[in-house]
Amino acid sequence: MHPMVIVDEPGTCPICGMELVPLKAGTGGGSASDKPAGERKIKYWQAPMDPTYIRNEPGKSPMGMDLIPVYEDEAPGGSQISIDPVTAQNMGIRTAVAGTRDMSRTIRTVGLIAYDEPKQFSINSKIAGWVEKLYVNETGQFVKKGQKLLEIYSPELVSAQEEFLLALNNRSALASSSFPEIAEGANRLLESSRRRLQLWDISQDQIRRLEKTRKVEKTLVLRAPYDGIVNMKMVNEGMYVKAGRELFQISDISKVWIYADIYEYELPWVRVGQRAEVILPFVGEKSLTAKVVYIYPYVEPKTRTVKARLILDNPGFQLKPDMYVNVRLKSETVKDALAIPAEAVLYSGEKQTVFIALDGGKFEPRPVKVGIQDDNGMIEIKQGVLPGDRVVTSAQFLLDSESQLREAIAKMLEVQSKKTAGGKDASMSADDMSGEDKPAGSDPAGSKQGKQGKAEDLF
């Protein structure tokens, strides 16, 4: 009832009075077998500085050190324990064999449809004036390249046209001058006036018409430079606008972007160029094929996800910005990975441990390093397990508790043996084991029994 009470002779428990039971040899988990080294069988070879690095044959560790042998009667990863078959069956212990397999994972996530950023355009006027006529007066309206957007009246524009006509007349008057410098200056003045109109977004057709009719136009027509939809309108008819003010935003949605949220633990499965399946829940689970073109190099602080960008053709404009879709990313297959069931791994802080089922009802805790996990509940083991090892997949917590208890007992026995070697009493008093304070001179039951028992048999 009180496993902390350990003495080197038969007797009764000083706490509850029950008879002490013998502690079986080999369950302390701390010492190797007494057999000669030649008769002991090597189980595997291990790196002296990294217990998870094990091999089936001698060699060098990643640090360049020689691998050391681990024998079958040793448990370097912790305390080796023995459990009889009936108890193991009652505990519900199940095992699985570690083996190589191809691993893959399907990442299911949510995607947000967005505009194709290089196909978003801002329309503004380079001159100040009044909007005389607004041809596009609705948000969401489709426009074609070259379509009229608005007409703007600007006194500066009228002055610039008059200067152009004066320069045009001046060149005609001085073209026949006997001084080439005068004619060349008239040509430069005309080109300068023409250039000024061009920089104000007056088209070549308008300039040619002005040159032909010699009639100043009151308004300037702004035209759409690209195909797309008007996703923002910030101007009304009759409004005064300043130079540089944004009037429209036009976006081409013949192609759209999809931002897929990828959690940090899923990143090892995502690659640029990977194929993705986009499922439209609003169109009867219709499925489209896309491709990952970019993985953003930062994490969204609110969602703790990384954005993966997909590009998808949108010929019928069925996909609309800010819609949600379902995304499935099929990862590339990892070939010949050593894997075990994920439930076999115990996580304790920074350590991962599995229990290896040995012959004779023995179980050995072994530290491991894990890798990726697939859709079938299997997890990759990078170090610590060899192909063919049987790992425990259930009741590991019971085994872990027993293993740690055996290891603690082994450490206490080691302390006792050191005291015995130094001439001190090897037995541990009930006060020390139970942690209770006893009156001076008291003699707990069983503390004086069996002094003539064998010291090598532990009870």
Supply the DSSP string of 8-50, one letter for each residue. Answer: SS--B-TTT-PBP-PPPTT-S-SS--SS-GGGSPEEEEE-SS-
pLDDT value, residue 96: 92
Question: Which region among 34-48, 134-148, 246-260, 267-281 has the lowest average model confidence (pLDDT)?
Answer: 34-48
Q: The whole model's pTM is what?
A: 0.60
* pLDDT range class, residue 421, cuts 50, 70, 90: low
- pLDDT for res 424: 46
For 198-218, the pLDDT digits (tens) are: 888 787 888 888 888 888 888
pLDDT of residue 429: 43
As a whole number, the mean pLDDT across the chain is: 80
Per-residue pLDDT at 73: 62
Q: What is the pLDDT of residue 79?
A: 62
For 26, list phi and psi in degrees, rounded to 5. 90, -5
| pLDDT (0 to 100) of residue 309 | 96
pLDDT of residue 307: 95
Please say if the pLDDT value at position 275 is more than 50: yes
Res. 93 pLDDT band, cuts 50 70 90 = confident
pLDDT tens for each residue of 333-383: 888 889 999 999 988 878 888 988 888 888 888 889 998 888 888 999 998
CA distance 74 to 34: 11
Exposure string for 329-350, b = 16+ CB within 10 A, e = fewer: bebeebeebbbbbeebbbeeee
Q: If you compute the radius of gyration of the chain from its CA atoms, what whole number of angstroms results?
A: 42
Give the residue with greater pLDDT, 30 vs 374: 374
Per-residue pLDDT averaged across 285-303, rounded? 92
What structural domains does the chain harbor?
106-116+253-332 (2.40.30.170), 126-244 (no CATH)
Q: In this predicted structure, what is the pLDDT of residue 23?
A: 63
DSSP strands (E only) in 303-361: 305-313, 324-330, 334-341, 346-348, 351-357
- Mean pLDDT along residues 173-180: 76
pLDDT at 431 over 70: no
pLDDT reported for residue 277 = 92
**Residue 217, both tokens:** 């136009």
Lowest-confidence pick of 5-9, 397-401, 454-458: 454-458
pLDDT score recorded for residue 141: 92
Residue the block writes with tokens 């608005």: 150
pLDDT average, residue stretch 272-286: 87
* pLDDT tens per residue across span 54-73: 887 888 888 888 888 887 66
Report d(CA 370, CA 41) in Å as an integer: 28
pLDDT at 409: 64
pLDDT band at 92 (very low <50, low <70, confident <90, very high): confident
For residue 199, what are its two tokens?
A: 């920089």
pLDDT for 161 equals: 87
User: What would the mean pLDDT of 273-284 be, rounded to a whole number?
Assistant: 88
Q: Does residue 223 surpass a pLDDT of 80?
A: yes
Instruction: Supply the pLDDT for residue 415.
Output: 64
pLDDT at residue 197 above 90?
A: no
Measured CA to CA, the distance from residue 308 to residue 261 in angstroms comes to: 7
Residues 191-200 have a mean pLDDT of 86
